[in-house]
Amino acid sequence: MRFPATVLPIALLLAVPVSGMDFSARFDALKATATPAQVYALLYALPKGGDLHNHSGGADRAEWLFAAATDPARNGGDSFYTRANFGAQPDAIAPAERFRNIRQHTYELLSPAVRAEFVRLDDLLPAERAAWCDSLRLDAPGEGRAEFFQVIWPRRGQLGDSLPVATEMLVENMKAFGAEHLAYLETQFGVDGFVTNDGRAIATEEALAFVKQRLAQPDALATGVTVRFQKTILRFLPNAEAKLAESYAWVEAHRDLWVGLNMAGIEENGHGYPRRFLETFRSLRARFPTLPLSIHAGEMDGNDSHIRDTLLLGATRIGHGVNLLQDPDTLLLLQQTRRVLIEVNLISNRLLEYTPDLTRHPFPEYLRTGVPVCLNTDDRGMWDSNFTDEYFTAVKTFDLSWSEIVELGRNSLAYSFVQPEVKAKLLVDYARRITTFEETYGEGRLADALAKLAEVQPVTYGYSKRTWGLEFR
């Protein structure tokens, strides 16, 4: 058992029912005999806990964005344009300008010559539409960290400041995760920076009311996914300290939906290092009650003290933690205290080239030496992947045992920042769902279990097809 004593009361542990069935041997037999497609189906059907490391925006699939951005009933009656024509000198256009997206109010301000370079999303020809979708994900050889940070994010452009579109994407993610049997989504989402169709800033409380109303609609509720938010600041900006203070106050005032605070953005450019924020965090802690912190750290190629420094900032969850093996004192601390969880993002780390060879990823070392970990999707829309792809990667690369799989899901709930009473319910529900799963695939002969997998219909995307040749529909 790896429950952190500081996170869960003992009474709660005793309340979690333990399955009577030993499913471990059956799981090993399934891994040994099932085809890759059957293993994938099994992991798709697997009850999952929470996705604790998820960026709204990066999580959005291009096809979902296209559908919402071209539907006035879902996009608030706006029109979106993308820069798809480049006249005589296409090579002179910066990569981030290709398929950069703008809204109607911006389009109207352009000169006729520049306007001619933009195409209304609805008017894209089928091949252009496919290219537009591909422009928002890492799907081609050679696309990696630079494409992700410097091209794809800027290219999204004003798709990101439409409140209706961002909110629709939240619900699309809930639907897709719900289908994958995820119970909890703790996504990095804010309501600042949205603008109206005529380009005026939307007040945060007004935006919040809109989001709450959408989350209360029947289709969102039907997903069964509990959603909470983290407020995230970009650590490398010149005004990041002020943004941190502002965000801290926002979370404190909206703890029903926002349960924690995060700092994201590339660590390696000399502007976003953790020590920079130590004094700011200390002054905030002098003014506000405890606020849970999950902070990106150690998403680096080389050796540094970022994870240790981030613990000093007060974080109880570390995003990525890729270079922890190079800091043995801090690794030992995490192994011994088991108080801090590392949010592992396997596909992200592979595609952004922090661990291009996943057999060398530190995840199994953390998992098997007592550092609490869970699996997460990070920017799944831009990876063209889903949550099952993370589990399939982990099982295939590290031969996870059944107890390890159950532990990953349990950790993702136990270390979530959701309110204690909701957490207790999610954990009890997780144990119940795992028991049902064990019964479904554990009873009868192995052949019966394999036959049942034919009933599972995974929804998969480009990542599983390109990486393993797995395509279900």
Cβ atoms of 165 and 121 closer than 8 Å: no
Least Cα distance to 54 among 345, 422, 358 occurs for 345
299 is catalytic: yes
Rounded distance, CA 442 to CA 131, Å?
Answer: 44
CB of 386 to Zn ion, least distance (A): 17
Q: Where are the beta strands (DSSP E) in 106-255?
A: 118-120, 184-188, 226-234
Given the residues 180, 299, 343, 438, select the one marked as catalytic: 299
Instruction: Name the closest residue to Zn ion (Cβ).
Output: 378
- Please give the sequence-ordered ranges of beta strands (E in DSSP) within 287-333, or none if there are none: 294-297, 317-320
Binding mask 377-396 for Zn ion (x = CB under 5 A): -x------------------
Stretch that binds Zn ion, among 4-12, 105-113, 328-336, 373-381 (CB under 5 A): 373-381
What is the distance between the terminal CA atoms of the chain, rounded to a whole angstrom?
Answer: 38
CB of 51 to Zn ion, least distance (A): 11
Tally of CB atoms within 10 A around 113 = 8
Question: 322 vs 434, which CB is nearer to Zn ion?
Answer: 322
The rounded distance, in Å, linking the Cα atoms of 34 and 395 is 13
**Contact window for Zn ion (CB under 5 A) among 302-310, 329-337, 362-370, 372-380:** 372-380
Closer of 38 and 294 to Zn ion (Cβ): 294
DSSP, collapsed to helix, strand or coil, labels residue 186 as strand
Which amino acid, 341?
L
Task: Measure the CA–CA gap between 192 and 111, rounded to whole angstroms.
Answer: 29
Total of residues contacting Zn ion (CB under 5 A): 1
- Judged by beta carbon, residue 153 or residue 437, the one nearer Zn ion is 153
Structure tokens at 232: 């995230």
As measured in angstroms, the least distance from the Cβ of 68 to Zn ion is 23
Site string for Zn ion, 324-363 (x = CB under 5 A): ----------------------------------------
**Segment lying near Zn ion (by CB under 5 A), choices 118-126, 371-379, 440-448, 452-460:** 371-379
Contact indicator for 328, 305 with CB cutoff of 8 Å: no
The single residue listed with the structure tokens 């000198």 is 89
b/e 421-444 (16+ beta carbons within 10 angstroms → b): eebbebbebbbebbbebbeebbee
Contact 276, 302 (CB under 8 A): no
Q: Quick one: which segment of 65-73, 287-295, 374-382, 464-472 binds Zn ion (CB under 5 A)?
A: 374-382
Taking the least distance from each CB to Zn ion, the nearer of 417 and 441 is: 417
Q: Which is nearer to Zn ion, 299 or 304 (CB)?
A: 299
Name the residue nearer to Zn ion (CB basis): 75 or 316.
Answer: 316
The residue behind tokens 């070392």 is: 365
Q: How far is the CB of 353 from Zn ion (least distance, A)?
A: 15
Binding segment for Zn ion (CB under 5 A), chosen from 5-13, 176-184, 370-378, 396-404, is: 370-378
Q: At its nearest, how many Å lie between Zn ion and the CB of residue 383? A: 12
CB of 348 to Zn ion, least distance (A): 7
Residue positions annotated with a catalytic role: 299
Name the site residues for Zn ion (rule: CB under 5 A). 378
